[in-house]
Structure 1
Amino acid sequence: MAKVYDRITDELTRFIQSQQIFFVATAPLSSSGHINLSPKGLDSFRILSPNRVVYLDLTGSGNETSAHLAENQRITFMFCAFQGKPMILRLYGQGQVLLPDSPDWQTHLDLFPAIPGTRQIIVAEIDRVQTSCGTGVPLFQYEGQRSEMVEWAEKKGDRGMWDYWQLKNQTSADGLPTPLSAWMERQ
């Protein structure tokens, strides 16, 4: 049975902290734009308060979340129980992108282990929290985090990562600019 909350409760905090994967969804305002849904892992999510969360955004082949947040701030996080009691948890809110020249960058970066390929930090104010049954989610056994992304970023190094961002992370699939592109111009 679905339940709606105005905040992340202590019980839901424990559920979030026990998950090895979460999903982030954003969309542009244009009805013809592409909705983005991305899986995330690698110990990259933190709860700052019952209505504020943050995650460490690592370099990927696109930068849709960043572009969508710059345009409209809408963001949804989803956590699924793949083991134990079934449940799906969604956090709805307004997000913003923090880059290395943001005043709060270091404070938020210090919440996470150092992970090569860190691109930006996403902070979100949560205004709706909703659970649903999750009985349609299959059971999976957790084996561990993949190492390929971290190894790839280490191999690229700082200069290689910068070049990759220039090539792949300046705009969304729909041509929306990302905050990363403006930050790179300031450097």
Structure 2
Amino acid sequence: MSKIVLFNKPFNVLSQFTDAGNAGSTRKTLSEFINVPNVYAAGRLDKDSEGLLLLTDDGKLQHRISDPKHKMEKCYWVQVEGEPCEEDLNKLRSGISLKDGMTKQCKAKIIEAPAALWERDPPVRFRKTVPDTWLEITISEGRNRQVRRMTAAIGFPTLRLIRYRIGSWTIDGVENGHWVVQTLS
């Protein structure tokens, strides 16, 4: 039996258990939150992103979750600066040309601010004269900082990025900074 840890990663936490390259660093790592032995992150989530990070003790499952060839969907709640319209969202849906090539088609829609949203520390810096909008973006690939680069490419920089779902796993019921373990047969 293998296990999977669903961790709701806070802002400013590295997706690894040690900060090997930075002796004396004060950056937070997974070791400050998770005390489950022999689990490893299946994929990564940038330090400045929040939400679902999966960890497992099953190497094959870890590979299936993180390898782009398996096309496991990842759904993000994205707070952007400005007010994108349907034409802007259609650009995302069709694929965006980035420096490392075209993104695959994705799902994108405007949503209300998520009801289960926690306070971020530090809070997002807002400009009184510029509105912000929440989007739900679902992708099936995982390039470095892809969602942030996609929203910037259509003129709406990302203010806050929360991964809500990977495949069928979500952060529902998992408070920010906490984790739950599921046993898989």
Q: Same fold (TM over 0.5)?
A: no
Bigger helix share: 1
- With CA pairs under 8 Å and 6+ residues apart, which has the higher RCO, 1 or 2? 2
Name the TM tier (shorter chain).
under 0.3
TM-score scaled by structure 2?
0.23
